[in-house]
Structure 1
Amino acid sequence: MRALKLSRSKNRRSFLLAGLFGTALATALLFPSLSLTAQARTVVDMSGTPVEIKDTPAFIADLWFAHNEILVMLGAADKIRVTAEKPADRPWLFKIAPVLLKAETGVHAETVNPEDLLARHIDLVIVPQRGQADALRKLGLPTLHAQYTTVPQMLQSIDMTADALSTSHAHDVARAYRQKMDTLTSLLQSRVSRLPASARPRVLHIAALNPLQIDGQNTMIDTWIKTAGGENAATVSGNHRPTTFEQIATWNPDIIILGATAGEVDPSSPLRFLPAFQQRKWARNPQGVFPWDRYGCEELLQLEWAAKLFHPAEFADLDMRQDVRTFYHSFFHYALTEEDITRILAAQPPARTP
């Protein structure tokens, strides 16, 4: 009888709370173990904003292209329910993490439908811009701004993501990645610092050929060019900056790097008359899970590749193929074949299976 009275009292209390404050608040007050606050942690995003994240989020929407491979690296591929990526654009990503084929693909931060994310019970959203994060948070979606433009910022963003995932595996991988990056950048610095300024090639990174776009200063591209012992030939700032052949001719770079998806240089293109092309001092940037030259965690491989391109004699001892194999095994838990490595270094997709 006493139990029955207590049950009726509890039901009446629940009804009153629901009527006064809404069902969700009533549930949180009566059962604090089920409330978001009781299960949440605070994670500070890249804009310095503290964000309340559910402990061990299970449903993630990663709306920044470069960040998806970071989640895969940290062991959260199976938690991605919505992704900015598409198999046609990132075949290596979906090859090493086929679970992503179950996710909603091609969803961008600029055009995402917040109601759809709420309907999917998304409990963590990743975006590249602070304004996007602010807008989604106002609608009740825990959202982290994750973008970076330097290696230290990238390491901070990876640590932030590990904090959000809140798994020992994610933290272990983030620490291992930081250690590898610190070791490599120290090696590069020790050798590059001995070179005179005149030995640093002026490098131009072409992001697209039609329309003609280059990557300037204050970008991740500028960071790896300088860290690997080069100087950015472009005197403008920002990613994908429109330019002209005349401007490129004025810069007259020593080395030209074409982005993996920049397109093909037409045989009649005036670019082919530049000294860098005439002297065969140009290269196509590798592309694996993500374009190495952009903003993904394969930045570790990009730095080594660029250093060997800029200063082949000083870095002849570095085995690029072996280091690609080791990186994929250590951080993506994927065993590359010799053909896989060749194709990644040539910015080619995986070979078609019969």
Structure 2
Amino acid sequence: MKKLYKLMALGALSALTLAACSDASSVATDEGETSAEEKVIQDQLGRDVTIPNDVERIVVGGILPYFSTWYVGTNSTEEVVGLHPNAYNAAENSMLANISPEILDASTDFVKNGEVNIEELMKVDPQIYFENSSDEKTLEKVAEAGISTVGLQTIQVADADPLATFNSWLKITSDIKGGEVTERADRFIEEGEKVQTMIDEGLTGVEDTEKPRVMFLHRHSDKSIIVGGANFFSEKWIKATGGTDIVGDDGVEGQKEVNMEQIYAWNPDIIYITNFTETQPDDLLNNSVSGQDWSEVQAVKDGNVHKVPLGIYRWFPPNGDAPLMLKWMAQINHPEVFDYDINEEIKNYYSDFYEYELTDEDVDSILHPSSDAAKY
């Protein structure tokens, strides 16, 4: 397997040095000229975006994880004055709420019935509005109000690689805030490379027949079962940690709604449940989901059902705890190979990268997140 970080290292390490800068003279752009107080960056739609040199107020819309990337890059959430309600639920149940509690001061009032309300958005006076690049309607709507908009890609980046995606967002953050972000980003990239190398070396000699058959339950209720397939974050996590992606390998792309008959046909050895659903492992292990019988699924029989952790943010999409996600999954997929103490690994990581000392209770809350973090 090619190392998960190869593309990330080649692209992100060089790109981080290209942050746009401005001086006392004006800068020519396709839309005119910027003032001495402004500069031009390029977002992930390839658009030139004029922003202030000193950005102090940002709003994060439907690109839900980005607020945590901002923190990882800048060591601050004071600038985040607005946050999508679906992201706020994760934030208030994350360790970031303890490390940088200013994130809880962010307003969610600018989202009404799932749509951006420009009048409410203007009340928080953002200098930049971040949005998923696929939501062109919102990007245009906010830009028409005179607010600089930055489009960020998700699964389009590096073939749905969550780690490369995260680092591409750090590159944008570096363009906006400058050198200190670049230095912090380099450390995260290096750590990710180191962890992936450790996993690859540990899996040397492990045959495909020895790899567990893994499934991600992405969204779930008694009325709907949605799994993650190929060209989605689930595929990357599974293959990077020595698993077999039974959903993606069966031809399922992205997210797909399935029935229990399909679950029986796949019969996964391990099930991971994301933080985008309120479902907990006990719901499957106790077979308590109305209208669904999980008792005959191998992962349930073996008690091998796991809720994806939530630390600085949800661990499933791009996030600053990605090296920990790799270690956590690798140990579950191959406990006979990876015998480190994951609790200590988490403590050491937070101490090194966030300068925050976790308690045992903190670690437990990361590894067993509340269903409240998934409420919409």
Q: What TM-score, normalized by structure 2, do the two folds share?
A: 0.76
The alignment status of 1:144 with 2:150, answered yes or no, reads yes
Partner of 1:245: 260
1:290 maps to amino acid: Y
Partner of 1:295: 318
User: How far 1:271 moved relative to its partner?
Assistant: 1.2
Contact 2:54 2:177 in 1 (8 A): yes
Contact 1:206 1:262 in 2 (8 A): no
Contact 1:90 1:289 in 2 (8 A): no
Distance 1:88 1:178 in 2: 24
Q: What is the root-mean-square deviation in Å for CA atoms of aligned residues? A: 2.7
User: How far 1:107 moved relative to its partner?
Assistant: 4.8
Contact 2:82 2:124 in 1 (8 A): no
Partner of 1:111: 115
The runs of at least 4 aligned residues of structure 1 exceeding 4 Å deviation read 106-110
Q: 1:57 to 1:281 in 2, by over 3 A?
A: same
Q: Which runs of 5+ in 1 are unaligned?
A: 1-30
User: How far 1:48 moved relative to its partner?
Assistant: 2.8
Partner of 1:68: 67
Partner of 1:5: none
Q: 1:330 to 1:113 in 2, by over 3 A?
A: farther
User: How far 1:53 moved relative to its partner?
Assistant: 2.2
Contact 2:234 2:316 in 1 (8 A): yes
Contact 1:41 1:54 in 2 (8 A): yes
Partner of 2:327: 304
Matches within 5 A, 1:104-253: 104-105=107-108, 107-108=110-111, 111-130=115-134, 131=136, 132-148=138-154, 149-150=160-161, 151-166=163-178, 168-210=179-221, 211-234=224-247, 235=250, 236-239=252-255, 241-253=256-268
User: How far 1:108 moved relative to its partner?
Assistant: 4.9
Is the partner of 2:129 in helix, strand or coil? strand
2:133 maps to amino acid: Q
Partner of 2:3: none
Q: Which runs of 5+ in 2 are unaligned?
A: 1-24, 28-32, 155-159
Q: What TM-score, normalized by structure 1, do the two folds share?
A: 0.80
Distance 2:53 2:261 in 1: 54
Distance 1:323 1:88 in 2: 22
Q: Which has the higher helix share?
A: 1
User: How far 1:145 moved relative to its partner?
Assistant: 1.8
Q: 1:49 to 1:88 in 2, by over 3 A?
A: closer
User: How far 1:32 moved relative to its partner?
Assistant: 7.2
Count of residues paired in the alignment: 316
Distance 1:112 1:244 in 2: 34
Which entry has the higher C-alpha Rg, 1 or 2?
A: 1
After alignment, is 39-48 or 129-138 more displaced? 129-138
User: How far 1:243 moved relative to its partner?
Assistant: 1.3
Is the partner of 2:268 in helix, strand or coil? coil
User: How far 1:120 moved relative to its partner?
Assistant: 3.1
Contact 1:71 1:77 in 2 (8 A): yes
Contact 1:36 1:54 in 2 (8 A): no
Q: 1:334 to 1:164 in 2, by over 3 A?
A: same
Partner of 1:271: 294
Higher relative contact order (CA 8 A, sep 6+): 2
2:72 maps to amino acid: M
Distance 2:346 2:193 in 1: 17
Instruction: Describe the superposition over 1:293-316 as per-residue Cα deviations: whole angstroms up to 9, x where unpaired.
Output: 233222221111111111112211
Is the partner of 2:36 in helix, strand or coil? helix
Distance 1:284 1:193 in 2: 27
